[in-house]
Structure 1
Amino acid sequence: ITKPGIRRLARRGGVKRIRGLIYEESRGVLKIFLENVIRDAVTYTEHTRRKTVTAMERDGKLRRGAYWSSNGLSAIN
């Protein structure tokens, strides 16, 4: 994810100023989060003996992980 992309996400979350070191930290946190979501989606897809991961698996993982709100993804606490 690019520096401007991280900045846009931070602005959406209400952040006004961003320290330079936060970009690498944000990339690391995002990578771990996505690895977990993708791993669980692939595991579920394999369990159902399919080869294509659908939005259903992705959304299911996000809901089970308490990252889902009525407006979409919620803040990770």
Structure 2
Amino acid sequence: MSGRGNGTKGVDQGGSKRRRLILRENIQSISRQSIRRLARRVGVTKTVTIVDVVYTLKRQGRTIYGFGK
């Protein structure tokens, strides 16, 4: 066992690796903030914290100081 996948052989060797690379690139291009925004729109998080308000104001160009990080 060399630890390099599931040991497929034949013509289609490496197809899953390519798919995995494309998926990883797509996932890495999504920022954490956009995931948070989508979750808020879908209704996953129902509590709005001070950090959320500060973040939204910062996105709109109205930075507020004294809160958050």
- Of structures 1 and 2, the one scoring higher in RCO (CA 8 A, sep 6+) is 1
Structure 2-normalised TM-score? Answer: 0.32
Give 1 or 2: higher strand fraction: 1
Structure 1-normalised TM-score? Answer: 0.29
Give 1 or 2: higher helix fraction: 1
